[in-house]
Amino acid sequence: MTTQTSSKAQGLSGFVQDWSADKEAFQVPWGKAMMWIFLLSDTFVFGCFLIGYMVVRISAVDPWPPATDVFALTIAGQSIPLVLIAIMTFILITSSGTMAMAVNYGYRKNRHKAAWLMLLTAFLGLTFVGMQAFEWTKLIEDGVRPWENPWGAAQFGAVFFMVTGFHGLHVSIGVIYLTIVAIKVLRGHYEKKGYEIVEITGLYWHFVDLVWVFIFAFFYLW
Amino acid sequence: MSTSTSEGQQHPISLYLKVWVLLFILSALSYMVDYIQLEGLLRWSLILIFMFLKAGLIIAIFMHMMWERMALICAILIPPLCLLVFTALMVAESEYTLFTRFSFFS
C-alpha cells in the first residue's frame, strides 16, 4: 500500500538504521518532530488529569453524580441524556475530518482549498467551545462548584472544571493557531517553503480530538 | 495507492471520508451504550473498545502514524505506556485511601 521513494529500510531494520546512522534519527521536518514531542508531553498532562480523576472517584466516600442525568437536556419536553455532549463529539470529529482534507489540499499546493478548510475547522472548533460555555453556565446555575454539587461526591465539580476546562483551553488555542496559519496559507507565505505547516497544525488539532475521545469515554460515559 | 515521500503525506481524500464515517458510527455506538443504559462489565468493556478503536483510527490515519518510520512511531507511542503503570499504582493507592476513610471516618 505504501511506497517509499527512497530505498530506505522499513520497519525494525529501518528503526536500527535511523538510530545508528550518526545523523538525525527522525526523518521528518524538524517542526513535525517537535510537534510530536510536544504532543507526547501533553499526553502526560492529560494522562495525569485522568488518573487524578480516577483516584478521587475511586476513593470518594459519597456516590459519584450520574453523568447521564447531570448532562441531560430537556428538548421538547423530553429529557435526553448526554445530548449536548454527543453533538459536541460529532462536531469535533467533523472538524478532524475537514482538517485531514486541509492537509491533503495543502500538499497538493491547492492553497485556497486548504486555507478555507482550515477556517471551517476553526469555525467548528469555535462552535465546540461555545457549546462548552453553555454547558458550564448550565452546571454553574445548577449549583456545581469545584467544592460542592447537589448530587453527591464533592470532588465531581473540581474534576469537571479542571478536565473540561483544560481541554477547552486547548481547543481555543487550536482555533487561534488554525486561524493564523490559515491566513498565512491564504496569503501564500508557504509557496516556497512547502505546506508541512498545515500537517503540523493538523497534528495538534487531531490531538485535541483524541483527548476528547478519552474524556468522553471516562468522564461522561463511565 | 498512497505514497509518503519527502514532500509529505499524500493519501486519497476518499480514505479520510471513510475514516470519518467510521468515527461517526463508533461515536454513535458509544453514545448508544449510555442511551440504552447498559450496566456493569458489558458497559465498561464496550466503552473501552469503542474508545480504543476511535483513538487508533485518529492516530493511525488522521495523524498519519501508520505511514511514519518506525523510529518516530516507537519514540511517540511507547512512552505513554508508562501511564498504564502509573494507573495501576494509583488504583492500589486510591483503594487503600477508601479503605482508611471507611475505617476511621465513618
Q: Tens of pLDDT along A152-190? A: 999 999 999 999 999 999 999 999 999 999 999 999 999
Residue of A nearest to B18 (CA): A97
- Write down the pLDDT at residue B1: 42
| Residue A65 near residue A153 (C-beta atoms within 8 A) | yes
| B61 and B79 part of one domain | no
Looking at chain B, the whole-number percentage of residues with pLDDT higher than 90 is 79
- Write down the pLDDT at residue A7: 58
A19 inside domain = no
| B47 and B84 part of one domain | no
Q: Does residue B6 register a pLDDT over 80?
A: no
Give chain B positions within 8 Å (CB) of A31: none
Looking at chain A, the whole-number percentage of residues with pLDDT higher than 70 is 97
User: Quick check: B34 and A68 CB within 8 A?
Assistant: yes
| B29 and B39 part of one domain | yes
Report the first-to-last Cα separation within chain A, whole angstroms: 38
What 3 state SS string does chain A have? CEECCCCCCCHHHHHHHHHHCCCCCCCCCHHHHHHHHHHHHHHHHHHHHHHHHHHHHHHCCCCCCCHHHHCCEEECCEEECCHHHHHHHHHHHHHHHHHHHHHHHHHCCCHHHHHHHHHHHHHHHHHHHHHHHHHHHHHHHCCCECCECCCCCCHHHHHHHHHHHHHHHHHHHHHHHHHHHHHHHHCCCCCCCCCHHHHHHHHHHHHHHHHHHHHHHHHHHC
Q: Does residue A22 register a pLDDT over 80?
A: yes
State the average pLDDT over residues B36-58: 94
Q: Does residue A98 register a pLDDT over 70?
A: yes
Closest Cα in chain A, distance from residue B83 (Å): 7
| B61 and B23 part of one domain | yes
| B46 and B93 part of one domain | no
A52 inside domain = yes
User: A22-31, A194-203, A207-216 — which is least confidently predicted?
Assistant: A22-31
| B60 and B85 part of one domain | no
A202 inside domain = yes
The parent domain of residue B73 ranges over 69-106
A59 inside domain = yes
- Give residue-wise pLDDT tens across range B55-91: 999 999 999 999 999 999 999 999 999 999 999 999 9
pTM, 2 dp: 0.92
Q: Does residue A16 register a pLDDT over 80?
A: yes
A11 inside domain = no
CATH of residue A211? 1.20.120.80
Instruction: Share the mean pLDDT of chain B.
Output: 90
Number of domains chain B is built from: 2
The confidence band for B8, taking pLDDT boundaries of 50, 70 and 90, is: low
User: Quick check: A213 and B3 CB within 8 A?
Assistant: no
A185 inside domain = yes
| HSE-CB of B93 using CA atoms within 13 angstroms | 11
| B47 and B34 part of one domain | yes
Suggest the residue from B21, B22, B24, B31 to mutate for an interface test with chain A (most A CBs closer than 10 A).
B31
A79-86 long-range contacts, CB within 8 A, separation 24+: A81/B34, A81/B35, A82/A220, A82/A221, A82/B31, A82/B34, A82/B35, A84/A131, A84/A134, A84/A135, A85/A135, A85/A216, A85/A220, A86/B27, A86/B31
| B85 and B105 part of one domain | yes
State the average pLDDT over residues A190-196: 91
| B11 and B55 part of one domain | yes
Question: Which A residues in the span 8-67 are in contact with B, Cβ-Cβ below 8 Å?
Answer: 8, 10-12, 14-15, 18-19, 25-28, 33, 36-37, 39-40, 43-44, 47-48, 51, 54-56, 58-61
A96 inside domain = yes
The parent domain of residue A105 ranges over 30-221
Number of domains chain A is built from: 1
| B80 and B95 part of one domain | yes
The confidence band for B11, taking pLDDT boundaries of 50, 70 and 90, is: confident
Closest Cα in chain A, distance from residue B72 (Å): 6
User: Quick check: B24 and A44 CB within 8 A?
Assistant: no
Closest Cα in chain B, distance from residue A80 (Å): 8
Q: Does residue A34 register a pLDDT over 80?
A: yes
| Residue A118 near residue A185 (C-beta atoms within 8 A) | yes
User: Quick check: B75 and A26 CB within 8 A?
Assistant: yes
| B44 and B79 part of one domain | no
| B39 and B76 part of one domain | no
Question: Which A residues in the span 75-134 are in contact with B, Cβ-Cβ below 8 Å?
Answer: 81-82, 86, 89-90, 93-94, 96-97, 99-101, 103-104, 107-108
The confidence band for A209, taking pLDDT boundaries of 50, 70 and 90, is: very high
Q: Does residue A3 register a pLDDT over 90?
A: no
- Give residue-wise pLDDT tens across range A38-62: 999 999 999 999 999 999 999 999 9
A196 inside domain = yes
The confidence band for A205, taking pLDDT boundaries of 50, 70 and 90, is: very high
Q: Does residue A217 register a pLDDT over 70?
A: yes
The confidence band for A1, taking pLDDT boundaries of 50, 70 and 90, is: very low
**Residue that wins the pLDDT comparison between A6 and A92:** A92
